[in-house]
Structure 1
Amino acid sequence: MNDTIKKFGYPATLVKGYHHWVVLLRPAQVTLGSLVVAAKSDATDFGDLSDDHFAELKSVTADVSSALQALVSHKKLNWLMLMMVDPHVHFHLIPRYEGAREWMGQDFEDKAWPGPPALGDAVKLSDDQISGMATWIKSSFPD
């Protein structure tokens, strides 16, 4: 796994592994269900990924959308490819919704709805919360 994947807490944050991609729980939750979708590659430019990466990304996006819809009932999914601090190809996936969602007694509000996501207002999860939320999200992914 590349350094970007490790920085986002792999393997503790792993939600689903694919041949060319991993889906990770984002340790700082912008909204409930925030994820990182990262390429298993040393590429630092999206266009440098293989055709196989792009083909598999179709399945990854469908799985992510379906799983999060079941759990969070989002209105939109924002796929942010920033790669300024963490150079390897990855997306920050932010479910968007009006108001708040509750998980394990904690509210996760989309404070910027309907504007751009408020990345600086993310809820930082404890190790126990990371483990619990990753398991919760995994439960909605196909085998």
Structure 2
Amino acid sequence: MCILNEFKEKFKVNEYKIYESEHWIWSLRPHQATIGAGILSLKRECPTFSELKPEEYADLNNIIKVIEPVLMKAFNYDVINYLMLMMFDKHVHYHVFPRYETPIEILDKTWKDENWPAIPPLMGEALLNDEMVSIMELIKSKI
């Protein structure tokens, strides 16, 4: 299996896709370290950031201009962290973590950003598929 397919399978990119642009896909992160945590991944297989094409860099700007206001409408975050780690998953992607100074009430649950203001917990909480779909639908409703 190619790296891109393994990546998409691991992060359930197609199942939890929120939005896509010409070159990027924004999907909900299967483990919610903070409510609304996502994955922003390049559509084509690409192992290093330096291999991005100029049009992919330009489109990264376009999709970020969708992500930030949509997450603000959905969750009223305090700040967003974009983490490009690529330690295990050798494909260009960012982990997108909306951050919250105080707990928030969403979908009949209290969500607390446990590590605020330090680095978010990378593992996060595995949620039931129904919970993931509810979060995804909430975010999509703000696009």
* Fold shared by both chains (TM-score > 0.5): yes
- Which structure 2 residues correspond to residues 50-89 of structure 1 after superposition, within 5 A? 50-89=53-92
Write the letter of the residue equivalent to 1:138.
K
8 Å contact kept, 2:13–2:28: no
TM-score, with normalisation over the residues of structure 1?
0.92
Report what 1:105 is aligned to. 108
Equivalences, count:
140
8 Å contact kept, 1:75–1:97: yes
Gaps of 5+ in 1: none
Write the letter of the residue equivalent to 1:111.
E
Runs of 4 or more, structure 1, over 6 Å off, are: none
Determine the C-alpha separation between the residues in 1 that align with 2:75 and 2:137.
Answer: 15
TM-score, with normalisation over the residues of structure 2?
0.92
Determine the C-alpha separation between the residues in 2 that align with 1:24 and 1:134.
Answer: 8
8 Å contact kept, 1:12–1:131: no
1:79 Cα deviation after fit = 0.1
Give the superposed CA RMSD: 1.3
Determine the C-alpha separation between the residues in 2 that align with 1:58 and 1:3.
Answer: 26
Report what 2:126 is aligned to. 124
Determine the C-alpha separation between the residues in 2 that align with 1:138 and 1:5.
Answer: 20
8 Å contact kept, 1:22–1:39: yes
For the pair 1:134 / 2:143, whether they are aligned, the reply is no
Determine the C-alpha separation between the residues in 2 that align with 1:75 and 1:112.
Answer: 14
Determine the C-alpha separation between the residues in 2 that align with 1:55 and 1:140.
Answer: 23
Identity of aligned residues (%): 31
